[in-house]
A and B are shown apart, each in its own frame.
Chain A
Amino acid sequence: GDSVTQMEGPVTLSEEAFLTINCTYTATGYPSLFWYVQYPGEGLQLLLKATKADDKGSNKGFEATYRKETTSFHLEKGSVQVSDSAVYFCALSSGGYQKVTFGTGTKLQVIP
């Protein structure tokens, strides 16, 4: 079955540091890939997505590239802010629209 593996958290960074959160996946067919962010006490917000190989999703300074050859979709940001502190979920959708497979989530804490 489909699966998503994310790096274990928490990740603690100083403000303006470079961020990478690793995500790899296993899926049948040609999945779409997503990053969702969940701020404390809130629901999930779609951060970015990519629907085919070599696509780059980007939003609010975050980027991720759909790498079919390495089955990866790593999240990056060049300079994190305290306001980026949240839990980040990598997810995929394949073989139909109704089920999304989520990773376990990576908590990011940015300190001033």
Chain B
Amino acid sequence: DTEVTQTPKHLVMGMTNKKSLKCEQHMGHRAMYWYKQKAKKPPELMFVYSYEKLSINESVPSRFSPECPNSSLLNLHLHALQPEDSALYLCASSQGTSGSTDTQYFGPGTRLTVL
């Protein structure tokens, strides 16, 4: 089973709202990732958690706040977003082993629209 689940599938929010995206995997993976994907572009890495600790933050604005409550769950808290933050947000996970052979498995994404 290589399933990563994400909720919600779609989200519409205003610029003053606070919302959260959720991601879950039960593959025993120890690395989890958030990506942002704009239309007709490849995914852009936002954050990486390794063994439940934040290991990479790709200079993401503070209106995006990640959280990893345990090894199976990853959240992305959203606050005071801008319309240009509208995109598909993808979660991924991998075993977290060192070296280049680690393989990332992606969820179906959350389509976010900021009004």
Chains A and B belong together in one complex: yes
A13 to B102: give the CA distance in the assembly, Å.
Answer: 33
Contact B103 A49 (CB under 8 A): yes
Size of interface on A: residues with Cβ below 8 Å to B:
28
CA distance A34 to B94 in the complex (A): 14
Q: Which A residues touch B43, using CB under 8 A?
A: 44, 102
Question: Inter-chain contact count A-B, CB under 8 Å?
Answer: 73
The one of A36, A45, A89, A93 in contact with B102, judged by C-beta atoms closer than 8 angstroms, is A93
Q: Which of A41, A44, A97 contacts B90 (CB 8 A)?
A: A44
Q: Which residue of A lies closest to B99 (CB)?
A: A97
**If the complex has contacts A49-B103, A51-B100, A98-B55, are A105 and B42 also in contact, measured as CB distance less than 8 A?**
yes
Q: Choose one: A41, A45, A94; the contact of B100 (CB below 8 Å).
A: A94
**Stretch from A16-24, A25-33, A78-86 at the B interface:** A25-33
Of A30, A34, A43, A46, which is in contact with the most chain B CB atoms at under 10 Å from its CB?
A43
Contacts of A105 in B (CB 8 A): 40-42
Q: Which of A34, A98, A104 contacts B103 (CB 8 A)?
A: A34
| 27 A-B residue pairs with CB within 8 Å | A29-B100, A32-B102, A42-B109, A43-B4, A43-B106, A44-B90, A44-B92, A44-B106, A46-B2, A49-B103, A89-B42, A92-B100, A93-B100, A93-B101, A93-B104, A94-B100, A95-B100, A96-B100, A97-B98, A97-B99, A97-B102, A98-B55, A100-B45, A102-B42, A102-B43, A104-B42, A105-B42
